[in-house]
Amino acid sequence: MTILDRIFLLVTGLIAIYLIVYFVKRQKDSTTACSCNIYYLISFAVLLVAGLLLIIFGWNALGNNFVAVVAGLIPFGLASGLISRFYPKHEKWYLTLMIIGLILITVTRYANLVTTAKIVYPLFHAIAGLTIFFLPIFGITAAKVKGSFICVTIGGALIGLGGIALAFLKAGKQLLFFSQDFVLMILAPLLFLTALFFAIGFIKGEA
């Protein structure tokens, strides 16, 4: 990991802290309180911790089973939050699906079920990624949020792409041209851009 990578991760952490404070304030305000804020808080808190761990331990932290499992809370939490925000009636079943995915990912990682991991990890990350990608578009179309909320879709595309690429690498396969060296080269700036677009989308789109 280069110094530039660590700078990107540090700024990503600062953005995550800003978003955590932002959603805490929204949750304390009775006019904006929503269970979606809790999901978002969990996601950005995990992003903050994951970024700090990467700064301290470098890319080797990605090989840690605990880090890999907990990192799934970032897209899973964001996706569940968007479901809660736009389709609250479906919140419980979607949350159940994400919990099942997290459990299966945990089991396959710690039990070293390589064949199962090749299916489970990309599958649930793809579900969460597609949710984060499409729901902001539906929300804008339904006039529930401002056009700036499209930045959440962009952030979702970035985190989904990075997550799936990492998932394929862990499964022993390469997604398109996403070799290990290439993924590690773009991962830090990718996380920074993801956090930046999420911040713009949530703050400007919901205001």
Q: Give just the sign of the alpha carbon dihedral 117, 181, 163, 175.
A: negative
Confidence (pLDDT) at 19: 96
Backbone phi and psi for residue 175, each to the nearest 5 degrees, phi listed first = -90, 110
Per-residue confidence (pLDDT) for residue 167, from 0 to 100: 62
Helices (H) and strands (E) in the chain, counts: 8, 0
What is the DSSP secondary structure assignment for residue 72, as one 8-state letter? T
Environment class of residue 142 by beta-carbon count within 10 Å: exposed (0-12), middle (13-18) or buried (19+)? exposed
Least confident of 1-5, 34-38, 82-86, 114-118: 114-118
Short-list 195, 185, 194, CA closest to 5: 185
Single-letter code of the amino acid located at 181: D
Q: Where are the domains of the chain?
A: 3-206
CB proximity list for 90: less than 8 A, separation 6 or greater: 83
Cα separation of 82 and 152, whole Å?
Answer: 10
Please give the pLDDT value at position 122.
77
How far is residue 109's CA from residue 191's CA, in Å, rounded to a whole number? 23
Q: What is the per-residue pLDDT for 177?
A: 55
For 18-55, the pLDDT digits (tens) are 999 999 999 999 999 999 999 999 999 999 998 898 89
Would you say 75 and 159 are in contact if contact means Cβ atoms under 8 Å apart?
Answer: yes
The pLDDT tens digits for 111-159 are 877 677 677 877 888 889 899 999 999 999 999 999 999 999 999 888 8
pLDDT confidence bin for 206, thresholds 50/70/90: confident
